[in-house]
Structure 1
Amino acid sequence: MKTVLYMHGGSGNHGCEALVRTTTKIAKDATGSDVILWSQNVSEDYKYGVSGVVDGIVATDEVNKKSLSFLWSYFKFKILKKSDALHKLFIKKLFKDSVAISIGGDNYCYPWSAKQGVELDKEIRQYCRKNVFWGCSIEEEFMTPEVVEDLKGFDLITVREPLSYEVLKNYGISAVQVADPAFLLNKKELSLPKGFVEGNTVGINISPLINDYENGDSIAFNNYVKLIEYILSETDMSICLIPHVVWEYNNDRKPLNSLYQKFKDTNRVILLEDHNCEELKGFISRCRFFVGARTHATIAAYSTCVPTLAVGYSIKSRGIATDLFGTCENYVVSVQNMKNDSELTDAFKYIFDNESQIKNTLNDIIPKYKKKVGIAVGELRNLK
C-alpha cells in the first residue's frame, strides 16, 4: 500500500509546502506506508526541499513510455483523438491500491478548484483503496449538487475549523473536526536581516488575491498603507514585509514590493526574500505582531504565539480565528466588507492594546490545539 498526496500546485505556495511536510509525517505515522506526492510543479518542490521529505514526486506526464499500455494510450490520443487517454493511464498507475489524500484544504473555497476537485476525485476513486479530504474549509456558496455528491464520496473528511464543519453537517456530510496540520510545522531560525528587531517587529503579509474580493478601488492595499504609516508614526517598531506565495501569476512579492517602495526611505521597513516555509515560520515567530492575508502565514504566527490579525477573504480565516479565540471579531478584517482605508489600522490597535491578553491566550491554547491534529492521525490509521 502507498499514500498519494494530490491537489498540490507546487511549493512556491509555501502554505502548500507546509501541508506536504506536515501531512507526510502524519501519514507515515498513521499508515507506515511510502508517501508519494503528485505535483503540478516538481521543480519548486526540489527547490524548497520537499523532495527530501516524501518518498517520491511525480508529475502528470510521468508514465512508463516503454509499456504496451502507454503505446496503446498514445495511439488513442494521437490517432483516435481521445484526449484523456494518457491522463487516465497516469491516474490508474499512480493511484491503484493507494490511500489518496487531497491536501488542497481550500479546494472548495473557490469555484474553479471545486470543479477541478469534483472531476478528479471521480477518476481517482476508480483505483484508490481509500479517498481522504484533508484539513479542509468549505464555502457554503459553492455547495452545488455536484460538490455535495463528491464530498459524500470521501471515506474520511477532516475539517480544520468549526464554521466549515457546520456547513458539512447541514448537508448531512460526515466529517471530523481537527486542526490544520500546518500547526505542527517545524520552524528554522536563520540570521535576521538588517533592521529586523527581534520581538519588536511587525510582520506584514499581503496577497494579490485580496484585489479580487474588495468592494472599492484598491481599498485593501490602501488599508495596508495606512497601517504602515500608523506603525511608523505612533510606535518604535520595525516592519518586515513577508511573502508566502511566490507563483508568478499569484505573487505576494508584487504588492509587497509596492509597499516597500513607498516606505523604504524610512529605514524601518524590510522586504524579506523568498524562503521555504520552515524558514519563513522562523522569521514570523520572532515578530512581535503579525498581520497577514495568507492563511498559512497566519498559522505560522498563531502556532508560535504571535498576536495576529488576519486579513480574510474566505471562511477559513474566520473559522480558524473562531476556533482559537471563540470569535473572529477583532481578529479578522474581512476584505469584502472594507468601506474605508482605516479599518485595518483600527483592528490593529485592538491587537496592540490587548497584546498581553492575546499572547497569554495563545500560550495557553496552542499546545492543546496542536493535539487536535492527533485526532486526524487516529482517523487515518483506522482507515487501514
Structure 2
Amino acid sequence: MKIGLIGFEFESANKGCEALVYSFISIIKDWLAPEDFIYNFSGTNLGVVPDYFGDINFVNVYPKIKDLKLKYIRALLSCDVIFDVTMGDSFSDIYSEKYFKELVRHKKLAQFCCKNYVLLPQTYGPFINKVSSDMASTILKKASSVFSRDEMSKKMLEKTFKITDVKLVSDMAFVLPYEKSAKSDNKKKRIGINVSGMLYKGGFNSENQFDLVLDYKKFISIIIERLIDNYEVHLIPHVIDLIENAYDDDYRICKKLNNEYPMTRLASAFVTPIDAKNYISQMDIFVGARMHATIAAFSSGVVTIPVSYSRKFEGLYGSLNYPYVINGKYETTESAVEKTIEYINNCTYLQVAQRASMEIIEKKNALLLNEMCEIMKNLR
C-alpha cells in the first residue's frame, strides 16, 4: 500500500504543523505493513524524518508540477489513498489569496490522480472572496471523505457548500504523546505565556492583517507586568525559526521580552513538538495565541486561556463547550487584560470545564480512530 500526505511538515518552524504529522502517524501506524510506503508531499519543508517514526518507509517527493520526469505526478498516481490536513488551519484565504490558490492547485491534482482523497480534521474557511469560496467548493465536493475539527466549520460546509456527510471529530494534536516530569519545589504557580511572533509584528504583512481590536504587543507587556510578582512566568515559543529575518518566529520575541523582564523564564528553542508539549505540560496555567500550543496545554491538563485572532479558535473550543477564549477581534486591550486576569484568578472553574471538554475529545478521538480503521481496512 502507498499512502500520500499533503499539508503535513516533518520539519517546520511551526511546532503545531509538526504536531499534526506526529499525531497522525501515531493514529495509523498500527495498520501499516513493513512493505507499505508513505509519500511526503510537503512542499519546501520536506524535512528529515525523525527517528521517532522507527522503521516506517517514508519517501520525500517535492511537489513540483512542471517536471519533465513527472516524479511528483507519478507518485500521486501510485497512491492508494491521499490524506490532506492543510496544516490544520490553512484551508482559507485569510493568509493570502495567492497562497490559497497554490494550495488549491495541488489539491486538484491530488484528486485527479487518486480517487481516495481524504480531507483530515481541520478548520475550513473563512473565505473572504467568492473566487476562493468557489475553488474550495470544487475540492470539498470531490473529496472521498471530509473531516472537520470544529462544529463551526461543519455547519459552514453544510450550509454554504451543501456537504452533507462531514464527520465531526477534533484536532489530531490532542493525541500528541508527551512526558510530564515532576515540578520544582517553587511555591509560585507557573504561568506559561506563548507569545506569537506573527501577531506581535501585526501579521505576516505587519499591517494588522487579522483586523484585531486588541493591541497584541501592549496586551503581552501588561499581562507580564501584572503577573510577574505573584507567578513564575515562562515565555514559551511555538514557532521557532532561528534564521536571520525569519518570516515567522516566536523565539526572538520571547527572548526580547525575557531581556526586558528578567524575572521571566525563557523556554528553549524546541526541536520537536513533543519537546514543546513536555515543557508546556509543566505549567499550571497557559495563555497562548498559537492554536497548537494551546492544544498542547489543554490536552496535558494545564488550565488554558487561548487568545484568538481567527474563528478557528472559537470553532474548536466552542465545539468543546469551552468558552474561556480571549477574542482579539472583539476585545479591547484593556478588556482582554481584565478578562485574562479574571480567568487566571478563577482557574478552578476553567479546570472543571476542561475536564468536561476532554470527555468530549475522547469520544471524538474514538470516532476518528474508527473512521481511520475503516479507511485503512478497505485499502487492503
| TM-score, normalized by the shorter chain, greater than 0.5 | yes
User: Counterparts of 1:15-34 in structure 2 under 5 Å?
Assistant: 15-29=16-30, 33-34=36-37
TM-score, length-normalised on structure 1? 0.82
Give the letter aligned to residue 116 of structure 2: K
Aligned to 1:127: 113
Give the direction of change, closer, same or farther, for the CA distance of 1:43–1:35 in structure 2 (3 Å limit): closer
TM-fit CA distance, 1:369: 1.2
Give the direction of change, closer, same or farther, for the CA distance of 1:25–1:158 in structure 2 (3 Å limit): same
Q: Give me the CA root mean square deviation.
A: 2.8
Residue segments in structure 1 that go unaligned for 5+ positions in a row: 63-82
CA distance in 2: counterparts of 1:26 and 1:112, whole angstroms: 33
Q: Does 1:37 align with 2:40?
A: yes
TM-fit CA distance, 1:128: 1.9
CA distance in 2: counterparts of 1:107 and 1:96, whole angstroms: 26
Q: Deviations over 1:218-277 (max 9, x none)?
A: 9211100000000014xx21111111112331111132222212101xx34334332311
Larger Rg: 1
Give the letter aligned to residue 60 of structure 1: Y
User: What SS does the corresponding residue of 2:329 show, helix, strand or coil?
Assistant: helix
Paired-residue identity, %: 23
Q: Does 1:108 align with 2:108?
A: no
Which of residues 298, 304, 316 is equivalent to 1:320?
316
CA distance in 2: counterparts of 1:52 and 1:152, whole angstroms: 36
Give the letter aligned to residue 121 of structure 1: K
Q: Is the 8 A contact 2:254 2:266 kept in 1?
A: no
Give the direction of change, closer, same or farther, for the CA distance of 1:40–1:371 in structure 2 (3 Å limit): same
Which of residues 68, 91, 104 is equivalent to 2:73?
91
CA distance in 1: counterparts of 2:137 and 2:254, whole angstroms: 38
User: What SS does the corresponding residue of 1:5 show, helix, strand or coil?
Assistant: strand
CA distance in 2: counterparts of 1:197 and 1:34, whole angstroms: 48
Q: Is the 8 A contact 1:30 1:378 kept in 2?
A: no
TM-score, length-normalised on structure 2? 0.83
Aligned to 1:359: 351
Dislocated runs of 4+, deviation >6 Å: none
Q: Is the 8 A contact 1:45 1:51 kept in 2?
A: no
User: Counterparts of 1:208-357 in structure 2 under 5 Å?
Assistant: 208-210=197-199, 211-212=202-203, 213=209, 215=211, 219-233=215-229, 236-247=230-241, 248-264=246-262, 267-326=263-322, 328=323, 331-340=324-333, 342-357=334-349
Which deviates more from structure 2 when the two are superposed, residues 220-229 or residues 371-380? 371-380
Residue segments in structure 2 that go unaligned for 5+ positions in a row: 204-208
User: What SS does the corresponding residue of 1:275 show, helix, strand or coil?
Assistant: coil
Give the direction of change, closer, same or farther, for the CA distance of 1:43–1:97 in structure 2 (3 Å limit): closer
Aligned to 1:201: 190
Q: Is the 8 A contact 2:326 2:340 kept in 1?
A: no
Aligned residues: 353
CA distance in 2: counterparts of 1:246 and 1:145, whole angstroms: 34
User: What SS does the corresponding residue of 1:203 show, helix, strand or coil?
Assistant: strand
TM-fit CA distance, 1:53: 7.5
TM-fit CA distance, 1:376: 2.0
Give the direction of change, closer, same or farther, for the CA distance of 1:127–1:43 in structure 2 (3 Å limit): closer
User: What SS does the corresponding residue of 1:183 show, helix, strand or coil?
Assistant: helix
Q: Does 1:138 align with 2:141?
A: no
Aligned to 1:373: 365
CA distance in 1: counterparts of 2:357 and 2:331, whole angstroms: 30
CA distance in 2: counterparts of 1:6 and 1:50, whole angstroms: 20
Q: Does 1:186 align with 2:177?
A: yes
Q: Is the 8 A contact 1:5 1:100 kept in 2?
A: yes
